[in-house]
Chains A and B, each alone.
Chain A
Amino acid sequence: MAEPILKVTNLIAAYGPIIVIKGIDFDAFEGEIVGIVGPNGAGKTTFLEALVGNIEVREGEIHFLNKRIDGLPVMKRRKMGMMLMPQENYIFPYMPVKRNLQVAGFLNTDEEKKELLEFVYRLFPVLAEREKQIANTLSGGERKMLSVGMSIMANAKVILIDEPSIGLAPKIVTALFENLKTIKEETGKTLILAEQNVKILNIADRIFGLEAGEIRFCEKTEDLDEAVVKELYMGE
């Protein structure tokens, strides 16, 4: 079996004296979509922030591309190929759409930038139409598309997205998730999505259930009892 691109062992992370992540084991393989589901306050955002280095890890290890990274700063993890799109404030609000994408892709070569921009515009034609528009004048759905576009431009090997569906109309969520699936299929990137929306079950290869800072289960999506997951972890 292939080695995971990302492997987490017994991770403990805290905000000051409050321990939020209580010894998590987690892995993700190249080219898969991993869903992390759980109710509000389960620790999904904290876990993602700890993976990219925004929150100090108290104990445990994070290995990325077979290298231990839990002592590295955010910038180094980003340069190695891991990136998080946060749940809120995920765009540069006073820049035009195209410049948001350019900033996100600044570590790439000129050729990569061109190819990635074409891919983003093919995936989200509305961004091409509005490339000169100031980002904070876009609708909520368009902003999410921009943020996903930025994560593509960043050309990271592992893209972590914190609740991409939050605040969006159901129809837009379906379209957005289809696009995430296309990204996986066409680029082979690993996507790790923290979600509370049941539609994650339609695109994820595996699901981790997180509750009170601990992993309750890890299953292939097809093996899950959807009804139980919906009731326990998604407020359905």
Chain B
Amino acid sequence: MISSGLINGLIMGGVLSLPVLGVAVVYGITGVPNFAIGLIGVFGGFTTWYFLSTGLITAILLGIAVCFPIGFFLQRVLLTPLGRKKSADATLFFLITCSFGFIVEGGIRSLFPRATINIALPRLGAIHIGNVSADGFKFVALFVAVGTLIAIRILEQHTQAGRSLQATSQNLKLATLMGINTDLVFSLAHGVGCSLAAVGAIFWGSLYTLDMGTGWHLGFVGFIIAVIGGIGNIWGGLISALLMGMVMSFAGYLLGGVWQSVILYGIVILVLIVSPRGIMGSERAL
């Protein structure tokens, strides 16, 4: 039971960690919590599903690529100018991004013929670890999450673009004074974050089903897990996603499925009271 709980928790955490990385990148760098990010990711998932007949790789790349300009221009046209206003606060961004989520939801409903889909990606067969067996495809999500995280780290360490992202997230005023185009950095980060959310939605849509509710769920749960990890701290986000996956998995085994959310959100409240900057620490608090 313990090994089964661990492996299932790991898999659930792996799937959850992808939208969490999107949230962590966007909020960590821009300081704007985008609650529409899950819906934008779902838009990417629907795009992949719609174009599957053109080829698997093309469809996945299209799904990921279409989310980049949405995030980029959302930041460039709406959020960056709003952020300059003195009246801009977290409540305003909450309302704006939620409203944008409803616009994306309307867009999905009007553009695609179905409201609930399953993305039929090729399976890898069962993988056996001890006496536990699981769909091998589920492990891919975990590897993709870890691989993405390592890629982001390499980008940060070895490229000027990565250093500019890091500098902007750590000290916006100084980065601007140094001559970094922080408006462009914000837009790029938001584009990348939304593309990561699309990767998460594509996996989710392949393992389960994808609909509008999934979009809101991934956005909010992704945000909560990112907060617990230490918002903007992408390693913290991954570790937090894996821990939360474990918690949900064991809560399901020991107490039944209805208790998963109770335990999860109970831990969220506890962590926020004890450590508002998350378990791994963060430059930002809520």
Query: Which residue on A lies nearest to B167, using beta carbons?
Result: A103
Q: In whole angstroms, how far apart are the Cα atoms of A132 and B139 in the complex?
A: 36
Stretch at the interface among A63-71, A81-89, A203-211: A81-89
**Are B163 and A93 neighbours in the complex by a CB distance under 8 Å?**
no
Contact residue among B164, B166, B170, B178 (Cβ-Cβ distance under 8 Å from A83)? B178
**Are A89 and B179 neighbours in the complex by a CB distance under 8 Å?**
no
**How many A-B pairs fall under 8 Å by CB?**
64
| Interface flag for A95 (CB, 8 Å) | yes
Question: What secondary structure prevails in chain B residues at the interface with A?
Answer: helix
Contact pattern, B 161-192, Cβ under 8 Å of A = 1, otherwise 0 = 00110110011011111111100000000000
**Are A94 and B173 neighbours in the complex by a CB distance under 8 Å?**
no
| Interface flag for A52 (CB, 8 Å) | yes
**Are A94 and B174 neighbours in the complex by a CB distance under 8 Å?**
no
| Interface flag for B283 (CB, 8 Å) | yes
Within 8 A of B (CB), among A98-142: 99, 102-104, 106-107
Q: In whole angstroms, how far apart are the Cα atoms of A83 and B180 in the complex?
A: 12
B160 to chain A, nearest CB (A): 6
A101 to chain B, nearest CB (A): 11
**Are B177 and A95 neighbours in the complex by a CB distance under 8 Å?**
no
Residues of chain B within 8 A of A72, CB atoms compared:
none
Contact residue among A52, A86, A92, A107 (Cβ-Cβ distance under 8 Å from B166)? A92
Which bucket holds chain B's interface residue count? 10 to 19
Which bucket holds chain A's interface residue count? 20 to 34
Residues of chain A within 8 A of B167, CB atoms compared:
92, 95, 103
Most buried by A among B173, B179, B180: B179
Residues of chain A within 8 A of B171, CB atoms compared:
89, 91-93
Most buried by A among B160, B163, B177, B180: B177
Q: In whole angstroms, how far apart are the Cα atoms of A103 and B180 in the complex?
A: 9
**Are B163 and A106 neighbours in the complex by a CB distance under 8 Å?**
yes
Residues of chain B within 8 A of A29, CB atoms compared:
none
| Interface flag for A157 (CB, 8 Å) | no
By Cβ-Cβ distance, the 6 closest A-B pairs, closest first, are A78-B179, A92-B170, A103-B167, A103-B163, A92-B171, A92-B167
5 CB contacts below 8 A, A to B, read A74-B177, A83-B177, A95-B167, A95-B170, A103-B167
